[in-house]
A and B are shown apart, each in its own frame.
Chain A
Amino acid sequence: QVQLQESGPGLVKPSGTLSLNCAVSGGSISSGRWWGWVRQPPGKGLEWIGEIYHSGSTSYNPSLKSRVTISADKSKNQFSLNLSSVTAADTAVYYCVREDVVVMNWGQGTLVTVSS
């Protein structure tokens, strides 16, 4: 059973860059499928951020595309999210996920607050 675990700072200053890692166990990110990020502002709905394939191909939500970079480190079996120029609107629980047509596996989520 694939398991995902997010890690990274829980507090980011406005205009800074939000950086999160996702460690994958029970499976390899090189084995296929897409690996991505979904976020959920407090009390609100789900928003897909983007994804990466083991080949390095990426796809991003058009509304975030200019600020998002998703990368992968096969040697560490993990992938990462960078979101630049953050504002309070980027405060959310961030989930790393394994997905294809649907989201098959979710991490437990990590709350990131944007505040000075």
Chain B
Amino acid sequence: EIVLTQSPGTLSLSPGERATLSCRTSQSVSSTYLAWYQQKPGQAPRLLIHGASSRATGIPDRFSGSGSGTDFTLTISRLEPEDFAVYYCQQYGGSPRGITFGQGTRLEIK
């Protein structure tokens, strides 16, 4: 079973700053199967990035994803007030089929 470890647990930044969130996997995974989600209080998560670096429909270009192997990164170039939320990385495993989430990074206003 592949484990996803996100860091930091909490990130305190100000609007306009750059945010860098990390997701490390316990085994090498295909970039095709790595995604990022944003969740705001009381809401379901929203898909931000799929295939490690492709933005989902309607996602602003200040969100970008990168990485390969076991190290993946979500970058928010200039934080907007609405970006403060919890972010999860997610991996898909084909054998056996299944989805695994990281434990989340809380991005809070400093």
Interface size class of A (residues with CB under 8 A): 20 to 34
Q: Which chain B residue shows the least CB distance to A53? A: B97
CA distance A51 to B33 in the complex (A): 17
State whether A45 touches B88 (Cβ < 8 A): yes
> Would you give the 0/1 interface string for A85-112, flagging 1 where the beta carbon is closer than 8 Å to chain B?
0000000000100010111101111000
CA distance A21 to B100 in the complex (A): 23
State whether A107 touches B44 (Cβ < 8 A): yes
Residues in B with CB closer than 8 Å to A26 are: none
The reply to whether the CB of A61 lies closer than 8 angstroms to some CB of chain B is yes
Residues in A with CB closer than 8 Å to B101 are: 45-48
State whether A106 touches B97 (Cβ < 8 A): no
Which residues of chain A from 19 to 61 have a CB within 8 Å of any chain B CB? Answer: 36, 38, 45-48, 51, 59-61
CA distance A103 to B90 in the complex (A): 9
> Would you give the 0/1 interface string for B79-110, flagging 1 where the beta carbon is closer than 8 Å to chain A?
00000000010101000111111111000000
State whether A103 touches B32 (Cβ < 8 A): no
Which residues of chain B from 23 to 39 have a CB within 8 Å of any chain A CB? Answer: 32-33, 35, 37
State whether A102 touches B1 (Cβ < 8 A): no
Residues in A with CB closer than 8 Å to B97 are: 51, 59
The answer, among A62, A99, A101, A108, for a CB contact under 8 Å with B1, is A62
CB of B7, distance to nearest CB on chain A (Å): 14
Q: Which chain B residue shows the least CB distance to A61? A: B98
- Residues of B at the A interface (CB closer than 8 Å) are 1, 32-33, 35, 37, 44-47, 50, 88, 90, 92, 96-104
Q: What are 8 residue pairs bridging A and B, where the CB atoms are less than 8 Å apart in the complex? A: A46-B88, A48-B100, A51-B97, A59-B96, A101-B35, A102-B50, A103-B90, A106-B45
